[in-house]
Structure 1
Amino acid sequence: MKVIGAGFGRTGTASLKAALEMLGYGPCYHMSTVIAQPYRVRQWLDVGEGRSRDWEEVFDGFPAAVDWPAAAYWRELAEHYPGAKVVLTVRDPDRWYDSVSETVFESALAERRPMPLHRRITRRLVAWRAPDFALYPRMARATVMDRVFDGRIDDRAHVLAVFERHVAEVKAAIPPDRLLVFDVRQGWGPLCAFLALPVPEAPFPQVNERAAFRRKRPRRRLRLILLGR
């Protein structure tokens, strides 16, 4: 592991993932990796529920990791990979909250509501066809919703306080020469300087994270699994 992303999901992590891969740090681990490869759900469930933290197995073949669930374990990863640099993606807190509440949190809150019959049937079919992926909601709770936000993802003031405390804690824990506090709107300059790499000729990638989430969201993945894709 050469680069650890400590920024919360929806802080430009998809753009950072694309940028790191363009710079040669690919493949870069991201929550989309977990969704695309359901066996990884069980790996993270073991981490979240305290059964195993074999980081070498989890990140085998990945020189970089950003987004949740990895970002929820930034402190452990920074200790385990002392030679890795840390990138803390940041964003205006209120705009971040609006984004995360309409994507990640919306899906998590939906799991708490009474489940209509068609969804119960779908869930049972997925559990039969892809038992690892059926554990995704439980994994997300264990590694992100409960671990990071104490399950209070519907409390805006609490979530924003967690966000701001997280930024302060990363800044305090990681030495300045090992840490880049990065807003993806800054583009290539700060990132390339931090990694001691030349600036690419191509524009800095701008991935619409809400659109990317809707394309890869767990519910859509459930439907694809049922279709055998």
Structure 2
Amino acid sequence: MTIRVIGAGFGRTGTASLKAALEALGFDKCYHMTEVFAHPADAKIWRGAALGQPVNWDALFVGYQATVDWPSCTFYRVLMVQYPEAKVILTVRDPEKWYASALQTIYQVRFTFPTTVMRHIIPMLRAVLGMQDVVFWQGTFHGRFADKAYAIEVFNRHNDAVKQFVPPERLLVYEVSQGWEPLCKFLNVPVPADQPFPHVNDAAEFQQRITQRLHLLQRVLGAVLFVIAGLITVGWRMRARTRQAKIGS
């Protein structure tokens, strides 16, 4: 098994829908940012790749036939060399809508409480968020994603670079709103009969899912702080009693 499809589009361009579509077409499994959360040890590998360290791509992608979304889209050129038979799909979207979606979802989650607090407590979260910082928040957007004009400029520049670098016969510039036809034609596979194209992970769905997770994190954080406060209180009382005992003696 080897990588047959390389997704070069940024996150929030329909990459979750493309992942579901590719897997439905037999290109499974498909590596997506969600895989890093499921396998947080991968975060160290991606971070190392961004810092120029060698990567055993075949080992990383054992069991996968496709890649989409961050962090892999950042390395589409390297992956094209590693997998010369793989086709490249550039998912695109109206830049204004892309920015609004990314700002309201992945950026908002990354830089809001309790995520910023929990990353210092939960090693898995620290590893994954640290990788994201190195690969795209800093590595791609140079810490300026909140600057809308700059972020959109980076987005457009990336898409133009992909179009210029990838040979036309190897590239599909694709909007998930186009559905099955162009995707199946490009991949030389039949259009699934009686199966609607998957449209998943829109902003509303993302917000609902993340809200649930943030509430869970808040409960965990509350429990952790409660335990810490309890330990501090116990320690303070024991220390006070020890002092009183010394004074009494």
Q: TM-score range by the shorter chain?
A: 0.7 to 0.9
Query: Could you tell me how far 1:216 is from its partner in structure 2?
Result: 6.0
Return the alpha-carbon distance in structure 1 between the equivalents of residues 215 and 165 of structure 2. Answer: 37
Deviation sequence 1:124-153 (CA, Å, 0-9, x none): 542xxxx34421221101111111111211
1:102 to 93, 101, 104: 104
Return the alpha-carbon distance in structure 2 between the equivalents of residues 24 and 169 of structure 1. Answer: 29
The match for 2:199 is 206
1:149 to 125, 141, 145: 141
The match for 2:227 is none
Contact kept in structure 2, 1:26 and 1:64, CA below 8 Å: yes
Contact kept in structure 2, 1:42 and 1:132, CA below 8 Å: no
**CA RMSD after TM alignment:** 2.5
Return the alpha-carbon distance in structure 1 between the equivalents of residues 167 and 9 of structure 2. Answer: 16
Query: Could you tell me how far 1:109 is from its partner in structure 2?
Result: 3.2
Query: Could you tell me how far 1:205 is from its partner in structure 2?
Result: 0.5
Instruction: Confirm whether residue 139 of structure 1 aligns to residue 141 of structure 2.
Output: no
The match for 1:215 is 209
Return the alpha-carbon distance in structure 2 between the equivalents of residues 170 and 104 of structure 1. Answer: 23
Structure-to-structure mapping, 1:72-151, within 5 angstroms: 72-110=74-112, 120=117, 122-126=118-122, 131-151=123-143
Greater mean deviation of Cα atoms: 41-50 or 30-39:
41-50
Q: TM-score if structure 1 supplies the norm length?
A: 0.85
- Amino acid in structure 2 at the alignment position of 1:209: D
1:50 to 39, 49, 52: 52
Query: Could you tell me how far 1:186 is from its partner in structure 2?
Result: 0.4
Give 5+ residue unaligned stretches, structure 2.
222-249
Return the alpha-carbon distance in structure 2 between the equivalents of residues 125 and 194 of structure 1. Answer: 45
Query: Could you tell me how far 1:47 is from its partner in structure 2?
Result: 1.8
Instruction: Confirm whether residue 176 of structure 1 aligns to residue 168 of structure 2.
Output: yes
Q: Report the secondary structure of 1:148's partner residue.
A: coil
Contact kept in structure 1, 2:36 and 2:128, CA below 8 Å: no
- Aligned residues, how many? 216
Query: Could you tell me how far 1:73 is from its partner in structure 2?
Result: 1.0
Return the alpha-carbon distance in structure 1 between the equivalents of residues 77 and 216 of structure 2. Answer: 32
Deviation sequence 1:46-72 (CA, Å, 0-9, x none): 222333322112212110000000011
The match for 1:61 is 63
Greater mean deviation of Cα atoms: 187-196 or 68-77:
68-77
Return the alpha-carbon distance in structure 1 between the equivalents of residues 59 and 6 of structure 2. Answer: 16
Q: Report the secondary structure of 2:138's partner residue.
A: helix
Greater mean deviation of Cα atoms: 171-180 or 31-40:
31-40
Structure 1 runs of 4+ aligned residues shifted over 6 Å read none
- Amino acid in structure 2 at the alignment position of 1:215: R
Percent identity (aligned): 45
Q: TM-score if structure 2 supplies the norm length?
A: 0.79
The higher radius of gyration belongs to: 2
Q: Report the secondary structure of 1:42's partner residue.
A: helix
Contact kept in structure 2, 1:89 and 1:183, CA below 8 Å: yes
Return the alpha-carbon distance in structure 1 between the equivalents of residues 215 and 136 of structure 2. Answer: 19
2:187 to 175, 178, 195: 195
Structure 1 196/158 Cα, relative in aligned 2: closer, same or farther at 3 Å?
Answer: same
The match for 2:157 is 165
